[in-house]
Structure 1
Amino acid sequence: MSDLLKQTLKGQQKQKPPVPKKQMQNEDEDDADEKEEEQDQFDVDFNKNTIPVKLQGSKPQPIKADHNITHSHHQNPQQAKVTKKIHDYSPQHWNEFYDEMIFHPNGTPIYIAGKNKAPIYLCLHGAGHSAMSFANLANEVKQYATLISFDFRGHGQSKIEFENPNLSVQQLLDDVVEIFDYVTTQWPKQTVIIVGHSMGGAIAAKSANLLITSQKADKVQGLIVIDVVEGSAIEALPFMEQIVNNRPKHFKSYEQAIQWSLNTSTLMTLSSARVSMPAQLKEVKDQNGNLISLDWRVDLLKTAPFWMGWFEGLTNQFLQIRIPKILMLAEKERLDKDLTVAQMQGKFRLIVLQNTGHSIQEDDPKSTAYNFHDFILKFRIPTTMEEVEKLKQVGIGKFHPIIGNYEYQQKYY
């Protein structure tokens, strides 16, 4: 479901909004030429098939962007050539964002950015997405903390239940606890802030409630839920089948898929689309091993029996947990009645990032990272186990966390 929820709430896919000033500063240099995108040779035309087909061979290797491409608009070579910048829609590889990838013994890929910094943000992605939905955010966060994300079973590069995965809420909770135990064993000194987007946000709140009753309760020091509210999510469920069916079933190239995500405002940032979209697709080959199409890696319609379980009880789980927490939304109107009352009572911090879509952390990774940083400072969250003990001794009034880079705010804001 993930990024389809916004489309449901709006009733239809909206046109791409103007790029916000903050986001424009975060884009590659070529994104200043947004209007030219609609006119260049890479525009998507699903009827005329004008997208270049790049199907032969294996999965593409990491490709660096070439922003200065020269091409001629004239047949006569004596005439002056016209040079203009065009967007690079080629896929980007995980190692351009994360520092390291390791496999859990059970076959789960775990991606790490900012390996030795505290605290750890353990990020859970939405249905159909992958750890790459946090890739651009990882580039920002690793300047002052560690960001770790992983692919749920059946998603991304996970080796667990590649086809028809069991995505029941109980199975996902078991998976999160297993990864949490592994991460806290590998990085025993840092505390953990659990982060979740969409489906992952619901699982984050429910898993945090489980973990604070375990022997590692002191390790969990914060919860961040991104753009998911129980009421609006459940209201959207009856429309999900139609919305999923309205998506293209196949793409002819990674470039076409990336352009589709931008043209439909599924994602609003080119750099995120280039790393996030390819991870959501799988290659379909003929008998000779030639690539014939790119299909969705996860069949969202087959996950329909699990949808209600993901979101049911989310509000209660979110509010009852006794740790610092924030809810990040693209639109304040998504708050249901219970959350509105709780927010007015100061039971959690609400952050609304304007001019973003459902995938907030992809559409504006810089502002998201800033709020992650500010969360630690405002709530005085201990970033290491040593600070946890100090907090118990001196009390919250005298405690101030030692976060990796105090200059982060001055440098970027």
Structure 2
Amino acid sequence: MKVIVLGAGVIGVTSAYRLAKAGHEVTVIDRQRGPALETSFANAGEVSFGYCSPWAAPGIPMKALKWLFMEHAPLILRPKLDRAMLTWMFQMLRNCTAERYAINKSRMLRLAGYSRTSLAEVRAETGIAYDERMQGTLQLFRTQQQLDASAKDVKALAADGVPYKVLDRDGCIRVEPALKHVRDKIVGGLLTPKDETGDCFKFTNALAAKAAALGVRFVYGRQIAGLDVESGRVRGVLTDRERMSADAVVVALGSYSPLLLKPLGIKLAVYPVKGYSLTIPITDASRAPESTVMDETYKIAITRLGDRIRVGGMAEISGYTNDLGHARRRTLDHSVTDLFPGGDLQKASFWSGLRPMTPDGTPVIGPTKVAGLFLNTGHGTLGWTMSCGSARLISDLVSGRKPEIDAADLAISRY
């Protein structure tokens, strides 16, 4: 079967790889000059199978109001007269209940757990290297209130059989020795030891090369103009240069997926939430993290990637803008230097990307009302984490096979 995958980020490339392994003739189309040059380029680097939570949670509306007045706020809201933004925000608020949080987190953990085994299979199959480490994620609490509030996450982790450890101050330092220099700034943490780290850009490029060796055709530098749909079935893709025919199309365009689908009457609840990152050369390894530390106060992830520290986080709701705000860099600078002053900030590279967020935190994976048209998008901050599992699911669904895990509640039909 001829399958076109739209998007060459980590979601699109893993999807193409799995579809090729399933025996399909696969073409990937992307507007960039190569793979992983947008949201997958410089993300936080954490592969967080256990640290997997919806942004929509009980108490978030009140926290959001407080964050508006913080100098180093994890959430930045720039409201505008944008119907899509307002609709998405209203839907997110509806998911900020204990009941919805439990449902959404369980879905995310199911997919993340599946993705963990799927990523391990990809490593075994390909032998690719991407500055990977398997030393877990430490969610770091600076206040007792934060530590107490983690009980709801512990309950969800236990219910889904995800390994975890609640740590006191000394326990955190045993996991991340560099924290001994700032022990008075922390009270404890939540460790998910099965989590991993790695450079998403390196992984995606290496896997794209493996996919190409399997026969996947990559078409770069093409603007996607629309989908060719006839009699309720997708027939191909229209680009700025040509029409390309297909038996099936997988939309993996991240935040831009809703714009492509809108003319077909498909309302996809995905909106861009901008994140920022710094990549810092390590100058003092004794003051650098060993794996990923999630600074709960600022919602900043500080990750070891080889001889670099990747600092990523924040959520800015401002539409399809990709400017680099200096105030956002100050927040990243503050979090990393406050905990791990082991890098050269003068040589750091500053980046931003648009995360495709759903209001319930769960990605949208599965078929649409148009025959042959499938979605693999809306992964938010967890595209790198969920990529390999999502690719296995979409490959099974396109191939007409029953997925190995329940995927019905991941489809767009849940809305």
TM-score by length of 2: 0.31
Give the structure with higher Rg (CA).
1
Q: Which has the higher contact order (CA 8 A, sep 6+)?
A: 2
